[in-house]
Amino acid sequence: MTEQTPGKKPSTTDQILDLLLDALAERQRARQSTPSSVAAPGDQAPRPSPVEEKPVPPPRPEPPPAEQRRAAAPPVGMLRSAPLVPKPEPRPGEEGWQPPDKLPSINMGKLLGRLAILVAVLVVAINIPVKSHGVSLARILPDAASLIIRDGLVLKGSGPEFYMLQDNKLRWISSLDAFEHLGLTWKDVHVVDDEFLTQFEKGHAIHLILKCQSSPHIYALENGKKRWIKDIETFTAEGYVWDDVQFVNCGYLRGLPDGLPIPEDAGPPPQP
C-alpha cells in the first residue's frame, strides 16, 4: 500500500493502486493456503489425443552459385528464339501476290497428233481392197445371197450409182433429189459386188419429175439437167405416175440446163 501523508486525502490513482495491491495479496494468500492435489494410485492421467502428423515437404534444393549457373547456361547463339507469328500470304490482286507455278503439260497437242495419225491409218486400212475384185473392207457386207430379193431393194456396187430393184429390174436413181424424194436413207442401201448386179436386167431410170403451174410440160431431173418428157404415153411408159410429179417454180425450171429429151429423138425441148 502507498504511504499517505497525514492530513492529506489520497488521490484517485493511489486509491486504485491500493485496491489492486490488496487484490493481489489476497489471491497470493489463497494459493498458499490451498493444499496441492495428489492423484490417487488407481487414477490414470488422461492420454493426450493423437496429433495428426502433417507430411513434411522435402527441402528445396539450394540454388547453385552464380558461377555454376553461368557455366551451365547454353551459348547465346543456341538460345531458342520466340516463335514468330507467320505473316499472312497476300491474296490475288494484293501487293506481293504471285500466280502459282504452272502444272506440267500433258502434251495434249502431241497426243491429238498421234490420235489423228491412228485414225488416218485405220481409214486407209479399211479402204484397201482385200478381195480379188477390189472390194474394200469398208464395203464388205454379208454375202449377197443372204439378201431377200424384193421390190424396193436399194443396191449399190463399186460405182457411185444407186439402184432400186422393181419387177426384177434395176432402176437407176438418177439424183440425190430423187433418192430423198423416195424417202430413202443410207441405211436402206446394200453394198454388193458388181457381179451380183449383172444378174438383173436394167429398167427405166428413176428421175425426179418436175412441173410448174403455168406450163403443161413435164420434165425429169437427171444429173442436174431437165429432160423434157414428150407426152403422156411416154410418161406412162417410163413407169411414172401422177403422184411422182413435184410442182416447182417456173423460174427454177428455166434456170436448169436442158438435157436430152425423152425419148431422145423427140426434137428440141420446149421451155416451161
Residue-level pLDDT at 104 = 67
Residue-level pLDDT at 59 = 67
Cβ contact 222:175 at 8 Å: yes
Q: Is residue 256 one of the residues assigned to a domain?
A: yes
Cis amide bond preceding 75, omega within 30: no
Cβ contact 261:267 at 8 Å: yes
Q: State which of 174, 206, 238 marks the end of a domain.
A: 206
Residue-level pLDDT at 57 = 65
Residue-level pLDDT at 140 = 47
Residue-level pLDDT at 106 = 65
Q: State which of 206, 230, 256 marks the end of a domain.
A: 206
Residue-level pLDDT at 261 = 92
Please check whether residues 169 and 228 belong to one and the same domain. Answer: no
Cβ contact 197:153 at 8 Å: no
pTM of this structure: 0.38
Please check whether residues 184 and 250 belong to one and the same domain. Answer: no
Tell me which residue has cell 438435157: 259
Q: Is residue 113 one of the residues assigned to a domain?
A: no
Q: How far is CA 114 from CA 104, 117, 125, 128, 138, in A?
A: 20, 5, 16, 21, 23
pLDDT per residue as tens, the chain (272 positions): 445 555 556 677 877 888 888 888 888 888 777 555 444 444 455 555 555 556 666 666 666 666 666 655 555 555 455 556 667 777 777 777 777 777 666 667 777 888 888 888 777 665 555 444 444 444 444 445 567 888 889 999 998 899 999 888 898 888 887 888 778 888 899 999 999 888 899 888 888 889 998 889 999 888 888 899 999 898 888 888 887 788 888 888 889 899 999 998 988 999 88
Q: Is residue 262 one of the residues assigned to a domain?
A: yes
Please check whether residues 186 and 222 belong to one and the same domain. Answer: no
Please give the residue range of the domain that contains residue 236. Answer: 207-272
Q: State which of 206, 232, 264 marks the end of a domain.
A: 206
Residue-level pLDDT at 219 = 92
How many structural domains compose the chain?
2
DSSP at 244: G
Please check whether residues 190 and 211 belong to one and the same domain. Answer: no
Among 203, 196, 201, 200, residue whose Cα is nearest residue 146: 196
Q: CB neighbours of 26 closer than 8 A, spacing ≥ 6?
A: none
CATH classification of the domain holding 252: 3.30.2390
